[in-house]
Amino acid sequence: MTLAGKKIVIIGGSSGIGLETAALALEQGAEVVIASRSADKLRQAHNTLGSSVSAYELDMADEQAVKEFMTRDVKRLDHLVVTAAQTWSGPFLATETSKARELFDSKFWGQYYAAKHAAPLLAEGGSITLFSGLVAFKPMAGAASLGAVNAAVASLGQTLALELAPLRVNVVSPGIIDTPSRAGMDDAARSAFYESVAARLPVKRVGQPGDVAQSVLYLLHNSFVTGTVLHVDGGHLLT
Ligand SMILES: NC(=O)c1ccc[n+]([C@@H]2O[C@H](COP(=O)([O-])OP(=O)(O)OC[C@H]3O[C@@H](n4cnc5c(N)ncnc54)[C@H](OP(=O)(O)O)[C@@H]3O)[C@@H](O)[C@H]2O)c1
């Protein structure tokens, strides 16, 4: 498998699943562009991935910034992957509505803007990969807003697969993956959470970023796959 000659743009490529996807795409010879908000994270990712990667500061919740990034910096691309999101969970009644709106601004509208402004620049045979998540398909108390955002992204992706055809559009729905997204948790609490999830899963472990990155690469390569929601969750939906 090779991605030689292909340009892959990964919004969210400075951490977790996006960073691992960038590393795999580079291994396969792609030209890789990563973008996220924090200059610090981008610098670290650049050090990890090597100097051939282009890194841009971008807040994908800002439509004008996304439009300028695509038209001025990216110009043309073969594949767009959007792993970026800032998410949280919390009890429905006790959470300010503005917090739920922020979640949509980040994970839904950010992916919407990215798809909208990248689509006209995508080469023939190109694709878009968006990110949903487990709690859309396995509802969890305390994750009403996140579940709704993830469901909205899945629906957006499937409709765009029809509307933007023959460009392909797919959606990845990760289960519990050990990424820096839980860096804010106390170490002991995070380990206990991962252990309790692992014990319930058929595969008896939580996911690693590489598990999901491999699935993204599959979606980039397989020209017969579009409009799919690919669950990469260690069997979590069965539990
Ligand atoms: N990890 C899990 O267990 C899990 C489970 C279900 C679904 N998912 C989904 O999988 C995707 C990837 O998650 P991950 O665990 O790899 O997360 P992560 O390690 O926290 O990485 C998220 C990336 O998104 C960037 N980002 C956040 N907000 C952004 C914005 N407004 N504009 C541009 N970049 C932004 C972050 O960098 P900056 O801070 O520099 O912007 C970072 O590079 C997300 O959609 C997440 O919801 C993850």
Compute, in angstroms, the gap from residue 19 CA to the centroid of ligand 1. 10
150: phi then psi, degrees, rounded to nearest 5:
-60, -40
Nearest CA to ligand 1 atom 28: 85
pLDDT score of 32: 98
Whole-angstrom distance, CA of residue 227 vs CA of residue 239 = 25
Compute, in angstroms, the gap from residue 13 CA to the centroid of ligand 1. 9
Domain boundaries, position 46:
7-180+208-233
List, for residues 78-96, the tens digit of each pLDDT value: 999 999 999 999 999 999 9
Task: Report if residue 195 sits inside a domain.
Answer: no
Whole-angstrom distance, CA of residue 55 vs CA of residue 16 = 16
Instruction: Residue 135: give its domain's CATH number.
Output: 3.40.50.720
Residues comprising the chain, all counted: 239
Whole-angstrom distance, CA of residue 209 vs CA of residue 225 = 22
Whether residue 1 has pLDDT greater than 90: no
Q: Are 168 and 157 within 8 A, CB to CB?
A: no
Whole-angstrom distance, CA of residue 169 vs CA of residue 115 = 9
* Residue from 53, 86, 111, 140 to probe ligand 1 pocket by mutation (most atoms less than 8 Å from CB): 86
List, for residues 182-202, the tens digit of each pLDDT value: 999 999 999 999 999 999 999
Compute, in angstroms, the gap from residue 1 CA to the centroid of ligand 1. 26
What six digits make up the tokens of 233?
């969750």
Task: Report if residue 87 sits inside a domain.
Answer: yes
Tell me what the pLDDT averaged over the chain comes to: 98
Task: Report if residue 71 sits inside a domain.
Answer: yes
Task: Report if residue 25 sits inside a domain.
Answer: yes
Whole-angstrom distance, CA of residue 111 vs CA of residue 85 = 9
Cβ < 6 A, ligand 1 pocket: 11-12, 14-18, 36-38, 41, 58-61, 83-87, 106-107, 110, 131, 133-134, 174, 176-177, 179-181
Task: Report if residue 176 sits inside a domain.
Answer: yes
List, for residues 210-229, the tens digit of each pLDDT value: 999 999 999 999 999 999 99
Task: Report if residue 187 sits inside a domain.
Answer: no
Task: Report if residue 44 sits inside a domain.
Answer: yes
- Pick from 126, 150, 130: nearest CA to 138: 150
Region 53-75: mean pLDDT is 98
Q: Are 178 and 197 within 8 A, CB to CB?
A: no
Q: Using the structure block, give the residue that is written with the tokens 């970026």.
A: 84
Q: Are 5 and 75 within 8 A, CB to CB?
A: no
If one counts the domains in the chain, the total is: 1
Task: Report if residue 98 sits inside a domain.
Answer: yes
Residue percentage of the chain with pLDDT more than 70: 100
Region 9-24: mean pLDDT is 98
Compute, in angstroms, the gap from residue 60 CA to the centroid of ligand 1. 11
What is the 3 state secondary structure string of 192-233? Answer: HHHHHHHHHCCCCCCECHHHHHHHHHHHHHCCCCCCCEEEEC
Compute, in angstroms, the gap from residue 84 CA to the centroid of ligand 1. 4
